[in-house]
Structure 1
Amino acid sequence: MTVNDDSFTNWMHREEIAESMIPIIGKLHREQDVNVLLHSRSLVNKSVVSILKTHRFARQIAGEELSVTETMPFLRALTTLDLGPSQIDIGMLAATYRADGRGLSVEEFTAEAVAGAAGENKIERRASRDVVLYGFGRIGRLIARLLIEKAGSGNGLRLRAIVVRKGKGQDIVKRASLLRRDSIHGQFQGTITVDEANGKIIANGNEIQVIYSDDPTTVDYTAYGIDDAILIDNTGRWRDREGLSKHLRPGISKVVLTAPGKSDVPNIVHGVNHDTIKPDDQILSCASCTTNAIVPPLKAMADEYGVLRGHVETVHSYTNDQNLLDNYHGSDRRGRSAALNMVITETGAASAVAKALPDLKAPITGSSIRVPVPDVSIAILSLRLERETTREEVLDYLRNVSLASPLKRQIDFISAPDAVSSDFIGSRHASIVDAGATKVDGDNAILYLWYDNEFGYSCQVIRVVQHVSGVEYPTFPAPAV
């Protein structure tokens, strides 16, 4: 047998194991509301090849590839336990088991590591929480995809309605088509049908009522059977408390804004300050995509090294707020063709840091350049630290943060030498540290942080909504503090 034959035989063996993982992962998700992760990446509804690629990607952050032959025993061990709603990272289980020297069996170690999610300790499955999307643009449709994807267990969040201004012609058919196909993020994973007679879009069995309105104060959501719902405003039309309060209609109990909030509206970056949300808070902002990209690594660096001052330069993909071709625009420069120019513009991300990290006293400045790509941006974060360090120390630290810290869902890490922006389309992290581009000289550090300003940000919004609704389930093994 040749070496190539050995490699192919090994591939087929791993393919077979990954294939056998799929029904186990699906059953845990549907029946026990357990989301199986691998280094913070969900394996629910993933293909055989996707599962294998996720295992292989572990070498980018952990230094060596993780094999399905290593993780499969832990997955099987989970099926023997009386688990409640939780997120369980089999990559972390394998890694911590490898470092454990007590001689426990996989079954014994797994039972101990996830004890907080099993038996008497398990959380009871909660009734689903209604969600309404006000606006159905780029972010709205991606949030809809995520909500539908996460509805598989029948619990958690349930998308009940979208509110839009009625367009001409077959409005609901066109909106369903935009949900079904996306030029950047690809096809919707599932089936979508339209019930025009009843004004509904049906996606993977989820009936989504389309409500036409241009004035939030005219809608009574209880008329559609919606109660105690969280409304996500994707329009950015209202950004202060007075404007957003218009959404607090019958059937709506909380409002979450997908843009930076003004005045006293709390700006929440999940993973950093979501624990400051009070039970009686009715109006929240998820800040901006750029704020979500820079605040988690900024917090990580401040915690370890201290930060005296910083500057962020954002190279940002163009958005619908710009003109396709030169035309009038209310803002400077944004009237020039987005597809043909680099456009200098303002960013509020630096000033928003103070809201998310009030204990950080270091001044942070910022500027932005819009460039002719449709998605994925990069933030160049230049920091003056309180102590000197080395590039190797910073990279080791950030790699560990991405693997085993409370920020591991926000911060990803990549060491691929030829990574470019399109590689990060669909990333679910708020920020991805590019190890190859990182520069450190004494007390100066420059981090290059990729982020999918559409999808990664939408994932952060969903995390905030899950936390607000009480369906943000704990992760095991617990991240290191």
Structure 2
Amino acid sequence: MTVNDDSFTNWKNREEIAESMIPIIGKLHRERDVTVLLHSRSLVNKSVVSILKTHRFARQIAGEELSVTETLPFLQALTTLDLGPSQIDIAMLAETYRSDDRGLSVEEFTAEAVAGATGDDKIERREPRDVVLYGFGRIGRLVARLLIEKAGSGNGLRLRAVVVRQGGEQDIVKRASLLRRDSIHGQFQGTITVDEANSKIIANGNEIKVIYANDPSEVDYTAYGIKDAILIDNTGKWRDREGLSKHLRPGIDKVVLTAPGKGDVPNVVHGVNHDTIKPDEQILSCASCTTNAIVPPLKAMADEYGVLRGHVETVHSFTNDQNLLDNYHNSDRRGRSAPLNMVITETGAASAVAKALPDLQAKITGSSIRVPVPDVSIAILNLQLARETSREEVLDYLRNVSLTSPLMRQIDFTSAPDAVSNDFIGSRHASIVDAGATKVEGDNAILYLWYDNEFGYSCQVIRVVQHVSGVEYPTYPAPVV
């Protein structure tokens, strides 16, 4: 047998193992609201090759590839337990088991590691929470995809309606088409049909009512059977408390804005300050994509090294508020053609840091350049630290933060020397540390942080909505604080 035959046989064996994992992962998700993760990446609804690639990706952050032969026993052990709603990272189970010297079996170790999700300690399933999307643009449609994907057993978030202004003929058909196919993020994973007579889009069995309105005051959501819903405003038209309060109509309990809030509206970056949301707070903001990209690594660096001052330069993909070709615009430079120019513009991300990290005394400044790519941006975070360090120490620290800390869903890490922006389309993290580009000299550290300013941000929005809805389930093994 040749070496090539050995490699192919090994691949086929791993394919078979990954194939056997799929029904286990699906059953845990549908019947028990358990999301199986691998280094904080969900394995739910993933193909055989996706599962294998996710295992292989571990070498970019952990230094070596993780084998399905290592993780399968832990997945099988989970099926023997009386699990409640939770997220369980089988990569963390495998790696912590490897360093455990007590001689426990895989079954014993797994039962101990996820004890908080079993027996009397487990969380009981909650009733589904209604969600309404106000606006159905770039972020609205990605949030819709995520809500449909996460429907699971039906006991979490449930997208009930989308509110838009009436367009022309076949409005609902065209909106369904935009949900079905996306030039950047690809095709919707599932089936979409349109019920024009009842003004509904049915996506993977989820019936989504399309409500036409020009203003929040025109809608009574209880007329559609919607109650205690969380409304996600994707328009950005209203950004202060007074304007967003217009959404607090019959059937709506809370309003979440997908843009930086103004005035006393709390700006929330999940993973950093989401636990400060008051239970009775009805209006909040998820800040901006750039704020979500820089605040988690800024917090991580401040916690370990202290930060005296910093500057963030964002090289940002163009957005719909720019012009396709030169035309009038209220902004000084954004009127120039987005796909043909680099455009210097402003960013509110630096000033928003103070809202998300009020204890950070460092002055953070910021600026932005829009560039001719349709998605994925990079933030260059230049920090003066409170103590000297080395590049190796910073990279080891940030790698561990991405693997085992409470920020592991926000911060990703890559050591790929050939990575470019397109490689991060579809990333579910708020930002990805580029190890190869990182520069450290004495007390100065420069971090290069990739982020999918559409999809990664949408994932952060969903995490905030899950938190305020009470369906954000704990992760096991527990992250290292």
TM-score normalised by length of structure 2: 1.00
Which whole-Å deviations, capped at 9, do the CAs of 1:423-469 have from their partners, x for residues lacking one?
A: 00000000000000000000000000000000000000000000000
Distance 1:287 1:353 in 2: 10
Aligned-residue offset at 1:120: 1.1
SS in 1 for 2:316: strand
Aligned-residue offset at 1:253: 0.5
SS in 2 for 1:235: coil
Tell me which stretches of 4 or more aligned residues in structure 1 moved more than 2 Å: none
Aligned-residue offset at 1:203: 0.2
Which whole-Å deviations, capped at 9, do the CAs of 1:351-410 have from their partners, x for residues lacking one?
A: 000000000010000000000000000000000000000000000000000000000000
Distance 2:215 2:112 in 1: 53
Q: What residue number does 1:366 align with?
A: 366
Which whole-Å deviations, capped at 9, do the CAs of 1:186-241 have from their partners, x for residues lacking one?
A: 00000000000000000000000000001101100000000000000000000000
SS in 2 for 1:209: strand
Aligned-residue offset at 1:287: 0.1
Aligned-residue offset at 1:163: 0.2
Distance 2:42 2:258 in 1: 23
Which whole-Å deviations, capped at 9, do the CAs of 1:273-323 have from their partners, x for residues lacking one?
A: 000001100000000000000000000000000000000000000000000
1:92 paired to 2:92: yes
Aligned-residue offset at 1:46: 0.2
SS in 1 for 2:262: coil
Distance 1:338 1:181 in 2: 23
Moved more, 151-160 or 397-406: 151-160
Aligned-residue offset at 1:418: 0.3
Distance 1:85 1:188 in 2: 26
Aligned-residue offset at 1:22: 0.2
Aligned-residue offset at 1:156: 0.4
SS in 1 for 2:133: strand
SS in 2 for 1:378: strand
Distance 2:123 2:307 in 1: 39
SS in 2 for 1:433: strand
Flag structure 2 segments of 5+ consecutive residues without an equivalent.
none
SS in 2 for 1:314: strand
Q: What residue number does 1:312 align with?
A: 312
Q: What residue number does 2:302 align with?
A: 302
- Mapping for residues 315-334 of structure 1, pairs under 5 Å: 315-334=315-334
1:49 paired to 2:81: no
Distance 2:287 2:256 in 1: 10
Distance 1:120 1:279 in 2: 25
SS in 1 for 2:178: helix
| Matched residue count | 481
Distance 1:81 1:330 in 2: 59
Distance 1:88 1:176 in 2: 34
Distance 1:95 1:152 in 2: 27
- Mapping for residues 217-232 of structure 1, pairs under 5 Å: 217-232=217-232
Distance 1:221 1:251 in 2: 5
Aligned-residue offset at 1:2: 0.7
Aligned-residue offset at 1:154: 1.1
Q: What residue number does 2:194 align with?
A: 194
Distance 2:241 2:173 in 1: 34
Aligned-residue offset at 1:55: 0.1
Distance 1:242 1:156 in 2: 29
Distance 2:331 2:155 in 1: 44
Aligned-residue offset at 1:153: 1.5
Aligned-residue offset at 1:412: 0.1
SS in 2 for 1:197: coil
Which whole-Å deviations, capped at 9, do the CAs of 1:147-202 have from their partners, x for residues lacking one?
A: 00000211100000000000011100000000000000000000000000000000
Aligned-residue offset at 1:328: 0.3
Distance 1:83 1:441 in 2: 48
Distance 2:47 2:415 in 1: 25
Distance 1:63 1:103 in 2: 25
Distance 2:332 2:363 in 1: 26
Distance 1:324 1:252 in 2: 36
SS in 1 for 2:197: helix
Which whole-Å deviations, capped at 9, do the CAs of 1:81-121 have from their partners, x for residues lacking one?
A: 00000000000000000010101000000000000001111
Distance 1:372 1:33 in 2: 41
Distance 1:419 1:332 in 2: 33
1:345 paired to 2:345: yes
Distance 2:39 2:152 in 1: 21
Which whole-Å deviations, capped at 9, do the CAs of 1:26-81 have from their partners, x for residues lacking one?
A: 00000010000000000000000000000000000000000000000000000000
Aligned-residue offset at 1:126: 0.4
Identity of aligned residues (%): 90
Distance 1:224 1:247 in 2: 16
Aligned-residue offset at 1:127: 0.5
Distance 1:395 1:44 in 2: 30
1:288 paired to 2:311: no
Distance 1:300 1:147 in 2: 29
- Mapping for residues 81-480 of structure 1, pairs under 5 Å: 81-480=81-480
Distance 1:444 1:65 in 2: 32
Distance 2:17 2:2 in 1: 23
SS in 1 for 2:453: coil
TM-score normalised by length of structure 1: 1.00
Distance 1:222 1:34 in 2: 31
Distance 1:152 1:96 in 2: 28
Distance 1:196 1:359 in 2: 52
